[in-house]
Structure 1
Amino acid sequence: MSQVFLNKRKLFTTSAGEASTEVVSEAIRLHIGELKSKYQTNESMYMSDHEILHEKERDPWKPDNRLVINYAKYIVDTFSGYQIGVPVKVTHNEKSVSDFIDNFRKLNDMEDTEFELAKIADIFGHAFLYVYQDENKNTRVTYNSPINMLIVHDTSIAELPLFAVRYAFNESDTTGYGQLITDHEITELTIQAGGTVTFGESTPHIYGRLPVVELIENEERQGIFDSVKTLINALNKAASEKANDVDYFADAYLKIVGVDLDGEDVGDIRETRIFNFWNNGEGPLPDVGFLEKPNADTTQENLITLLKDSIFAISMVANMTEEDFGNASGTALAFKLQAMDNLAKMKDRKMQSAFNRLYEIVFNVPMASVPQDGWKDIKYKFTRNVPRNILEEAQIVAQLSGQVSDATKLSVLSIVDNPEAELEKIEKEEKEKQDSIRNNMLAMDRNTDKDLPESDDENLNGAQDE
């Protein structure tokens, strides 16, 4: 009887109360059989290894171009750069907590980690963050693709995560290895052909909860180009056929009707490129010309244009290469980016939820010098990676003066990454200016006392004696 279920949202669930060898084995078998090939297809498309490259070869005498127009990579990179190309601003009202977060982010290169995490989710539909302790007892975090990691959830309405599996195993291997990760320990796994696992040594961890966080692209866990994969493959085929037609016309067959040519004559024609035929006034005139294939250039161009436009329309990612894109007004540009902005806002919410789970784990580490519930007051600010009008932002800040706090005003400026740190810099600079003014005034007072003329003092003393 099946103990693990996989639904269309790529969600693993189980009603079993624990991660037994049978449950883990079944989860891995489902992952390998149902999902791994789909993930590898998406990865191959992003890496320019498309379906057309693996089609059956044509006869040697036929043109056989295999063109790859990699809109899968273009869509992923464009959307990732737009949505999180500007690093997320992570702030907290308490300075000690804010400093802790800053140190954690620097130690783990979180700006790069977050970008790669978002890109993986764009490709596969979801991605994972894995928290661990390094040899110096520092809390570290890394990203992981769903090709070799999965989370199994319970069957409750909340679909709470029970355990995670990270493994390395291919169908061509006889033995693989992996880790079973639960809310209290990490167990080494040995994986046999077919996905059957054997538990090895277990090591307890310090997090008190599952140290694996899932980021989902959307509730259906669909990659950003999943809906246009067939269109991309069709575009590759159409462009390749067009290239084949170009090769055909460049190497068309010459037909000569009404003249009997031997091999030497054919060689002379090929060498000199001169035709000199006559019929002595008898019979029809010789017919010389090239065999022409019916021209479908207009049809091909229309198909290519249709496929290209459909790819961007259905994926809802803007085509930045359009000629009029850079010349669009602010309102027109906003309309062009509206669909992609809607996708980005949805992705923001999913990322914020994943970050909350991440910092909940990090703040629960015993060595952390912050309250365990301090993560609840963390604020995240996502900024779109589009050209910014700094003058307009500065005008908005000026108009907000006296209505909101200085930190809120500074958060409007795209050039300010950390409003709290910027306020500290302003305060420090102001203090340095005041100290400099005070020191200058003291120096002036000392110089004034030093420069008083002695004659004036003597005259004053003489007047007092009289």
Structure 2
Amino acid sequence: MAQVNNFEKGIGLFNQSQFPFSTESNINYRVNSIDDLTANNYELLAKMISHFFAKQVPRLQVLDQYSKGLNTDIYSRPSRNEDSKADYRRAHNFGKIIAQFVAGYSTSVPVKYSVPDDKQQEAVDEFNNDNDVATLDNELMYDVAKFGRAYELQYRDGNSQNNVKLSNAFETFVVYDNTIEKNPVAGVRLVQLQDLQNSGVPQYTVSLYTTNSIITFKNITEQVGGSMTVVDETPHFYNSLPIVEYNSNRYRTGWYEDVISLIDAYDAVNSDTSNYMTDVVNSLLVISGDFQAPDGDGVNQLIKNIKKYGVLALQSGSDRNGNTTSVDAKYINTEFNSEASENYQQRLYKDIFTLSNVPNLSDESFSGNASGVSMRYKIFGFEQAIAQTINSFKRSLSKRYQLLGSLSSNLSNGLATVGQVTATFTPNLPYAVSEEVQMLTNAGIPLSRQTMYDQTHFTDATNEENNLAKEQEEGLDQSEPMNNVKFDSDKGDEVDGGQE
């Protein structure tokens, strides 16, 4: 009998799980100066690239797979030996849920950027609008939540427009110096070329970004040799490294990286439960007693009839005294404690959210009638953790606008030096507005009509004021309740809604 559910086994997707990750999978590359990279035909750079492909990319691949429900442990575990046994592989993309919550909480409401000078503010706003920075920030935070790191590249295009784009974490790394400040001295982008020859050996275009120029090398493979050949070098005019790295924390760990083992355990117990439920249906049927197959059918034909019709019809025999003998049929299957299994799954489910510091919004405690203060206490642990990520994110954001302002020193049409940009994050959370309004009202603090209108989701303050003014001009009694206003069903005209 063929194994069920072959598609879900993911055969061929993964050779083996890369978890737990080695220390080398997430180290920062450090040098004394840029001269260390350029010496001996960039021999050290070549070693870094080989190390990046061999040690760091596998970790990124596993984290990426867990965000897509392609969990490596459940898909790489050995197949069951018996061909007739179910072999489900139930993967659960907790990684996606956790990463989306982190990115949604912090950047779904666009980050606000402010500069003291009005002209500089206009320049920043124009740059942000042209580059859809709100979307970029959300993508960066999603990568930070997944990988613990993210990268953006700033550049000027052929039309002298200032651009900033997300750079793939699988293709990018930054090299820092050995000082206590840990200053970035170079950035590397490795873009894979399309293999038109189907050679099976991927090649990459390598670009080394320094504080002054972009150095391009001859195409390489993942097993780059001891040196590299330069084919082009062009200035970029930024006076600083145009690749900016974003980190989740000082260790660059992803938000669900610490709970991968729990996700694996949840996948395993859920898959085993599915296998058991399927195996029960295909349990071994045992027939005992003195019986004959009906109509002279053989045993093999009897088994086929049972599978086809699901009905067992047996004719009992007789003993030597002429008494009818008994026939019994029952299925044999392993015992399974469903209650214990369910409790175990629920405990794992709870632990995944608890230990990742991400609130489980499907929990009954997140009811619609919970107070605003109560909701904030439920996400207190998450807010402590996200504060660390946001603070790190802000430091990288400041480098983005420092780069933007640095162009003026080398380009006559560059922007004026942008001062310190303040980035304000607004958590994307439901707020108990009615409680806050009631608190201010009880304290005797008046609220403007504009503010009151802004708290509603169905109207705009300016339009509503215009509508009110128009109704006043028409002499409509605005104090009259709408329930007392009647309309002529034929003409649609308003008629007297008072008592006759």
Q: Shared fold (TM-score greater than 0.5)?
A: yes
Aligned partners of 1:390 and 1:369: how far apart in 2? 45
* 1:177 pairs with 2:198: no
- Equivalent residue for 1:310, pick from 345, 351, 354: 351
Task: Give 1:383 shift.
Answer: 0.8
Task: Give 1:98 shift.
Answer: 1.2
Q: 1:331 aligns to what?
A: 373
- Aligned residue pairs, count: 406
- What does 1:330-349 correspond to in 2, within 5 Å? 330-349=372-391
Task: Give 1:337 shift.
Answer: 0.7
* 1:11 pairs with 2:28: yes
Aligned partners of 1:401 and 1:206: how far apart in 2? 54
Counterpart secondary structure, 1:61 = coil
190-199 vs 131-140, which moves further:
190-199
Aligned partners of 2:70 and 2:25: how far apart in 1? 26
Counterpart secondary structure, 1:195 = coil
Task: Give 1:123 shift.
Answer: 0.7
Counterpart secondary structure, 2:229 = strand
- Equivalent residue for 1:144, pick from 151, 167, 178: 167
Would the aligned equivalents of 2:153 and 2:244 in 1 still touch at CA under 8 Å?
yes
Would the aligned equivalents of 1:9 and 1:219 in 2 still touch at CA under 8 Å?
no
Q: 1:201 aligns to what?
A: 232
Aligned partners of 2:48 and 2:435: how far apart in 1? 54
Task: Give 1:269 shift.
Answer: 5.2
Task: Report Cα offsets for 1:311-333 as digits up to 9, x if no partner.
Answer: 11111101111233133322321
- What does 1:378-389 correspond to in 2, within 5 Å? 378-389=421-432
Aligned partners of 1:395 and 1:100: how far apart in 2? 40
Q: 1:225 aligns to what?
A: 256
Task: Give 1:60 shift.
Answer: 2.5
* 1:247 pairs with 2:289: no
- Equivalent residue for 1:54, pick from 42, 63, 76: 76
Q: 1:462 aligns to what?
A: none
Task: Report Cα offsets for 1:35-57 as digits up to 9, x if no partner.
Answer: 01111111111122222223333
- Equivalent residue for 2:313, pick from 274, 281, 291: 274
Aligned partners of 1:174 and 1:9: how far apart in 2? 23
Would the aligned equivalents of 1:100 and 1:369 in 2 still touch at CA under 8 Å?
no
Would the aligned equivalents of 1:269 and 1:275 in 2 still touch at CA under 8 Å?
no
Task: Give 1:233 shift.
Answer: 1.4
- What does 1:52-201 correspond to in 2, within 5 Å? 52-58=74-80, 59-169=82-192, 172-173=200-201, 175-193=203-221, 194-196=223-225, 197-201=228-232
Aligned partners of 1:269 and 1:162: how far apart in 2? 74
Would the aligned equivalents of 2:242 and 2:403 in 1 still touch at CA under 8 Å?
yes
Counterpart secondary structure, 2:98 = helix
Amino acid at match of 1:80: A
Task: Give 1:149 shift.
Answer: 0.5
291-300 vs 69-78, which moves further:
291-300
- Equivalent residue for 1:365, pick from 403, 407, 424: 407
* 1:45 pairs with 2:66: yes
Would the aligned equivalents of 1:279 and 1:286 in 2 still touch at CA under 8 Å?
no
Amino acid at match of 1:178: V
After superposition, the Cα gap between the structure-2 partners of 1:126 and 1:14, relative to the gap in structure 1 and judged at 3 Å, is same
Aligned partners of 2:120 and 2:61: how far apart in 1? 40
Aligned partners of 2:25 and 2:288: how far apart in 1? 64
Aligned partners of 2:232 and 2:445: how far apart in 1? 61
After superposition, the Cα gap between the structure-2 partners of 1:329 and 1:276, relative to the gap in structure 1 and judged at 3 Å, is farther
Would the aligned equivalents of 1:85 and 1:115 in 2 still touch at CA under 8 Å?
yes
Q: 2:11 aligns to what?
A: none
Would the aligned equivalents of 1:128 and 1:144 in 2 still touch at CA under 8 Å?
yes
Aligned partners of 1:316 and 1:172: how far apart in 2? 42
Larger radius of gyration: 1
223-232 vs 174-183, which moves further:
174-183
Aligned partners of 1:207 and 1:276: how far apart in 2? 92
Amino acid at match of 2:354: A
Amino acid at match of 1:111: A
Would the aligned equivalents of 1:177 and 1:189 in 2 still touch at CA under 8 Å?
yes
Aligned partners of 1:414 and 1:100: how far apart in 2? 31
- Equivalent residue for 1:375, pick from 409, 412, 419: 419
Tell me how large the CA RMSD over aligned residues is: 3.2
Task: Give 1:173 shift.
Answer: 2.2
Aligned partners of 2:163 and 2:329: how far apart in 1? 77
Aligned partners of 2:31 and 2:252: how far apart in 1? 19
Length-normalised TM-score, structure 1: 0.79
The structure with the largest helix share of the pair is 1
Would the aligned equivalents of 2:176 and 2:184 in 1 still touch at CA under 8 Å?
yes
Q: 1:292 aligns to what?
A: 333
After superposition, the Cα gap between the structure-2 partners of 1:61 and 1:311, relative to the gap in structure 1 and judged at 3 Å, is same
Would the aligned equivalents of 2:107 and 2:425 in 1 still touch at CA under 8 Å?
yes
Task: Give 1:177 shift.
Answer: 1.2
Aligned partners of 1:220 and 1:24: how far apart in 2? 23
Gaps of 5+ in 1: 1-5, 416-424, 434-466
Would the aligned equivalents of 1:128 and 1:145 in 2 still touch at CA under 8 Å?
yes
275-284 vs 50-59, which moves further:
275-284
Task: Give 1:414 shift.
Answer: 8.9
Q: 1:216 aligns to what?
A: 247
* 1:321 pairs with 2:362: yes
Kindly indicate whether structure 1 or structure 2 has the higher relative contact order, using CA contacts under 8 Å at least 6 residues apart: 1
Task: Report Cα offsets for 1:107-139 as digits up to 9, x if no partner.
Answer: 000000000000011111111111000121011
Task: Give 1:387 shift.
Answer: 1.1
Q: 2:492 aligns to what?
A: none
After superposition, the Cα gap between the structure-2 partners of 1:111 and 1:252, relative to the gap in structure 1 and judged at 3 Å, is same
